Amino acid sequence: MSSPVGTSVIDRRAIADAFPLFLPAIPFGFVLGLAVTEGRMPQAIGWSSSILVFAGAAQLAVITLAGTASLWAVVVAGLVINTRHVMYSAALAPAFQHQPRWLRWFGPYLLIDQVFALAVLQVDRPPAEFRRYYLTVGLFFFVNWQWVTALGMVVGPIVPASWQLGFAPPIMFLGLVLIGMNRRPQAVAAVVGGSVALATAGLPDRLGILAGAVAGVVAGSFAESDERSEVTV
Partner 1 sequence: MSVWSSLLIVSMVGLITYSMRAVVIVAMANRAVPPSVERALRTVGPAVLAALAINLAAGGDGGPHLEAAEALALVVAGVAAWRSRNLIVTLLAGMATLWVFSALL
List the interface residues with partner 1, window 170-209 (CB under 8 A). 170-181, 183, 185-194, 196-198, 201-203, 206, 208-209
Closest CA to 173 of 71, 35, 42: 35
CA distance 169 to 91: 29
Which long-range CB contacts under 8 A does 222-230 form with residues at least 24 apart? 222/188, 223/184, 223/185, 223/188, 223/189, 224/185, 226/185, 227/183, 227/184, 227/185
Whether 110 contacts 139, CB under 8 Å: yes
| Residue from 5, 10, 48, 154 binding partner 1 (CB under 8 A) | 48
Min CB(129)–partner 1 separation in Å = 18
- Examine residue 127 and tell whether it contacts partner 1 (CB under 8 A): no
Nearer to partner 1, 2 or 83 (CB): 83
Closest CA to 85 of 58, 66, 62, 124: 58
- Examine residue 32 and tell whether it contacts partner 1 (CB under 8 A): no
Q: Please choose, out of 2-10, 79-87, 124-132, 141-149, the segment that lies near partner 1 by the rule CB under 8 A.
A: 79-87
Nearer to partner 1, 7 or 229 (CB): 229
- Examine residue 153 and tell whether it contacts partner 1 (CB under 8 A): no
| Residue from 123, 150, 159, 165 binding partner 1 (CB under 8 A) | 165
